[in-house]
Structure 1
């Protein structure tokens, strides 16, 4: 193992005297320079030639890296666009699982109301072929006559080919999403659809026709079958060639291709081919315009040209569309993406500079040659006269260079010196063809260092840093490179063919720093722990290696003090994803992409609506509705939850005050995060929301999870008392899933105890679960709290909760989270049902039917 360290003389206070004996030698050398100037000229011209060549190579490498970056961006855009098509097919499958009797009119309205029609301009047509068991054929035929797909009335239902089979594959839903067409083409549209009727007739059994192999392939594989629309048209019989011609005229100006995906009884495709074939429920057929799909990609990358192709299971790739025209001198890349590498993109990226790398190399070499000529001339004139001045400057420069390379407090190498040394080691490793694990960079910082500074002063902290540096030098050995690269952050660089295990390096650093420190002005020994991150292997630059080590250090600190983490490539990807998601969330807040849905809560005795819980949702411009669990943790981590939470409070209060004015005096519960409770700003936000909306404070409930309460019980309790002073109510959410005790619960000004859905589910599965819910309800009553059960999904759970005298509840048995217009309609219908039903059965009576 070879390790390197900074100049040991620095640690003893001796200045770096390199160059102190140079003035006399330098003076003699300069006096001889005049006679050797012609030799210097020749050498300079050779250097110019080499530099020009190196410059050309560097520019060529930069162009290649830039091309790779642009190609990667294009690949991401295409993968995202093609993935959106898969999401659309999955959404259709989910929609049909909820409403199997969906009509074509409802199907079209869903496509329009979800915003997909406006956002997915590449979607030309969307259809669903249903797997119809023989026993359901008559019902399907009646439904088809009343509600044919695409609105094309075929008169009577006629099965083609006739005959009894166990299952039929029949088209049940279909819609067109063509770009606006002039009135003159409306007749052509009708003619084309009429000609194509033989293919899209719902009576045509596609499992016993030309499309059967495509359906079977999609059902067996579990992934999409894709190809140009011409492939699908090519399956038509000779008598239907007129349909092919008419369809070609209809899609003139487009580049259509189709995706065929199977829909199964389960959310994900079964594991085996036999199971997939048995459980297929239908097929979603999407016709997309490759030209519309590629145009945004080409438009966002100036001068880029793209060929999009699809690689079938067998045979050569099929070109779907070409966008843009390659410029002369463009660099070409071939991309293969998605899970099976079936999508191919040929990308041409234009050069970023007007001059070619060779031309730039010639320009650089010529510039250096001109400089050498001027330098030689200057040296011949000034060499002897400036000898003494140069010698003095050399001494001064040596001292300045030493100061620039070392930390003034510890004498260790500073950040710049560490990076420079690592860069040289990386270059040497690449030149020698060294193994990827021949270099390790260890970074560590001292846990709780700020607290020590605050408690005893900066002079004590400085002493600790110096002694910590000494210990790290001992870990690396007499030739170790140890540097201080931040306030309390150190770096240790180890290089060699037989490196210790990265975990052993981290353990050695932690063990050295864990020994007690004896510091002046501090009574007794001081214990210190260290968080450590390690990155190994060759990188393009020292900054890249340090970046990866810092990522590992951040992961270690996130796990708690005295932890060590070795960098893995997926950590960097996770950091990039978090950064991108945080940027998207900032855009979402600025552009109003967040919205609220409301889940009603009920009085379990009379089953009337008593309130709603406001729930945050995100309508992403390309991904659609994003579930909260995918973005709320990033809101918390970044602190954006404070701004978003302020908007949620104001919007929820405004909406509920509007319902009050309409005659629905419900309360609203708003979830508040731990980040919001860290300062007094939450009190100002709640007060502002109440004042601006005009809502009665008693109608607002602030919900806090049990784990948030236990972060800092004293300060949280004080902040809750300030909120209670405004007149609002406080609820503890997910109670029972954390670690609070009754003694802690009594400290908080709480009004409502929400029982977590996991306990509600368990109460009907075991006597222990029922006993636990009983205990929680009795605890709430003993403390004078309202008890509210979450996640009520069936009648038996409702019956058991009523028997335990739980006060309120919410869950899918009653209602799912609803948009504001649907929520007010639900409250009106519920009030009408209760008014017409009369008094409910007494508490604890057996369930008799659906409650909502």
Structure 2
């Protein structure tokens, strides 16, 4: 920027001129050079500031935002003009004239700088805030000057004892304090405010110091300036630098300040609630200086008394304003609370505040009026305890969706009122945990019993769904109850269109309605003439058929295939799928129970079909319900498992089969739930991947394994550690960075880490090669686990960048008593691995015959229950103590 270059050269000119003048013993010329440089710098930046103010005024069509830059520019202009006049007086005027001009300029420019700083956008938005900044600065400045006066200047009787030097010194001290307080207490754009305040303070200090030096020269001593000391000359250099740098900082800050209006908090506007500590330190310092002066027997002159009274008055007035602001803010809060209570008390909706555990913390007075629920009945209880058991789980799921960040959730559930009756309710939920005054979920509950009753009345009039012309839920349940009562048998099919919710979001409600109508048409075309298709909910359908379970399964497969066909609509093509659950009519006691059995089978089908194209069909089994409940509990308990410290690692050594000494270990993940007990990884890791928690759990496992390996290396155990990775982790872009971070964090050799990937979980060849090669580039080693159970051909091993091959037990498991030579397949695998330079580990060794088979095939490393079972680190360490370890 041009201004920056000008300022740079002005600083150089100032320093060179002043030091050069001092070197040739011509202080008058040095004074004139300093004045010239300071004048040029001030006038250049004053012009830029005034132009900035005019540009803001033309853009905003308002004098408000431009006043700060304008007054700052006027302050710089006064500074430049005053310094210029001082320099001229030094050349042609009497000895006292330069000091008087500089002092007068200080008394005019300092208030102008402060006025511009207080009017700058973002520093003090209200008149009250500006008054508080002034009082804070006045109290601090006067208190500090008071301390200096009574401790130093009173006895020294320097040139500052005169009225004019005293006024200049005090004004500079107060102005600098106000500038510093204003910059530090800026409501917004604090870096810009700090730049302006520091520039204003430098300008004021430079100008004041300039005047005091000249007043000291032309004072009582009457010493002509050419005989002034080298200290005075150095002072002129410093004041010149301050006068040049100050306007530059003011301009830099003013250009960064945003003039757009804002709505800061009331406490920020007034500065009251953060203002108390500002005056405490200076006041205590002044009190301590007074006590020291009194104890040392020193007198207090009139100036000291006047300064002390001024500081005390500023402190009293500031505290009065603070107390008034606190009372006003308290009245504002009380008014808002009363207004809120009035609105809540008059509302027909019931407002309930829940914490993160869905426990009721507050309810509005309308709860007693609308539902007869007192605070004793509700507060401290989980909201789901107040709901119908059939509606509690879906409601809790919806509330947790809000906690997870989902918006616009509508909860429909039956609520037990204070008289024990079930009331139909509809609730909207908003997450207000980030609002300090609320700190929870806000649930607005409405009684929709009249509307539900009206809907039931309409259903009694018609048994047909208006949108699809299929039978509605009431008709279907009545038909199922009738067929169940005859005892002739039959089946119920329940299906739901997956991803239907996204159709309305992406294509609009018109396309969604067309999809439902087409789905209903395909449903009617696929069932027999005696079957009854029905629509249960928005995207859920059902079919009642007289066919037995086997034929019903074939019908369900036909329906899933039909609904998986693309929906070709005008301008749109929609791809959906439907999972189908089948239940036998004679396997339940009521129609509702039959429907529930079919829905449980559908949910089981949906769990098993995730990640597949098309739908899946499942017949109801009693074990499904227990598995569904357990999976639901795992889904609920798995989030936060790392923070709760429920995960654990066990380690299984890898042994040299010839020497029977351990050379490495495999880290195996375990989840020990306090209520569900031990949960194997095969059960909770797929759930973790669906919930998006696999990366977090994988990184925890990696770090814990590296940490344990680091401890073993520190104890002198030269081992390597293998860590399992899923296909999802291996395909993630962040996995390589996570491995590198873990290795660096725990200071373990990269080659001592082996990343294992199951053969069945390997991604496509290209991605597998890229990721495995990336791991190799980090220095870590790679391994394929359970080789022999997946689709990987032996020829593929040439293309895969792997270091270790873990062969599965299926390749060497022999009938009991067999101790003959190795089977041909393991010979081929081990031989090929050796030619490729790949180490082979036989996993799953359980008998000595297994060891004989793999050793005969040339495999020298093994792992299994025969050698050592997986155990915690301390038990594995005891095992290691009994064996010598060496690197693979």
Question: Would you say same fold, with TM above 0.5?
Answer: no
| Structure holding more helix per residue | 2
Larger Rg: 2
TM-score tier after normalising by the smaller chain length:
0.3 to 0.5
The two structures have a TM-score, normalised by structure 1, of 0.43
- 1 or 2 for the larger relative contact order (CA 8 Å, sep ≥6)? 1
Using structure 2 for the length normalisation, give the TM-score. 0.41
